[in-house]
Structure 1
Amino acid sequence: MVDFQSRDRRRDAHVSGVDDEDEDVTADESAAGDDETTDEEARAEYGPETFPFAVVAVTDDRTMEEDATGDIVVDAIESAGDAVATRELVAASYDGVQSTLTTLVARADVDAVVTVGGTGVEPDDVTVDAAEHLFDKHLPGFGELFRVLSHEQEGTATVRTRTTAGIVDEVPVFCLPGDTVAARRGVEQLVLEEAETLAEQAATEDTE
């Protein structure tokens, strides 16, 4: 499993960067502290071998109850013995996707993020554009292998997907299509095989 002490220390260091002379704590800062504690407590509920994901549907035309692709991704993760720490639905907005990803990778109980939807070439397909601008490191092989696996079923239509992955703040982020079959393929054959190793290798080494 991943040693997440380094991630927690890095986040603590970021918080400690606030001017020490400013001892006043606003309501928002207090709430943020409460949220962080909640995340850590939620993580403690998982077994030592459980790897927690966040699942995000990017869509303008369905509700959480109608999100069949998200259901499939959650089922695949849980069937593998891992956990879904949170599941969210966000509108197909560049800023909305970036804001959601930034929030999720900062959570102590999220070790990887899977998004579904918005990976095509239509005007409102903004997931890849938003995510890639957050990537500290790109993982081009993820999209390449996904398209290889998809070609047998999809043929040349495979070129229409911009499926990709990268590391954001030490957390792997995988951007999959909104199609149920494609999303299942990506999660079962790629994400679940590599997410934990990617998180381990991306984590900052403990220098103490």
Structure 2
Amino acid sequence: MPSHRITDIAALEALYGTPGEASLIKVADHLTPLYAKWIMTSRLCIVSTVGPSGTDGSPRGDDGPVVQSLDPKTLLLPDWRGNNRMDTLRNIVADGRISLLFLVPGSNNVIRVNGTAIVSVAPDLLERFGQAGRLPRSVVVITVAEVYSQCARALMRARVWGSGDESGDLPGVGDLLAEQKADFDGAAYDAAWGDRAAKTMW
């Protein structure tokens, strides 16, 4: 049986055809005023990195803009409290390549940023994100290589912002943990999560 795997770029391009003009001219190599406005409105981004152990995707959110713009080529992403696995940070230290997807509730558009990153503990950068005496542990400094908008069809197909709450029958994180470790008390974990998150948000 012949393979149906596409193994070269020419075959891929033959299958999909020529990209439209809009998909080519939308790419900027820095934060233009309108791209910056869009990104500074976003409180949620998905961060993708790559390292020796593979790839990683991680959501990052804040109660204001999820990043700050240092200049048209530089974004700052604070690393607030999480689970201390440091998958994203480990990858950045080892490799540095990074991609971010910025989302805004109600908009089906997504803004994408590709570039390189470092992990910094420079006091002046940490202080930029100070909140009620709290500072992030580190700041990811992103050098923008390209920024562009993503076609809205994916979010439109998924009806992300207009489909209502579909989470009622989903397992809790405690359930997922108990599935991995039989003697883990998943119900207690889920019951305590709300208070624990409120006390350790930053």
TM-score under structure 1 normalisation? 0.28
Structure with greater Cα Rg: 2
Larger relative contact order (CA 8 Å, sep ≥ 6): 1
Q: Answer 1 or 2: which has greater strand percent.
A: 2
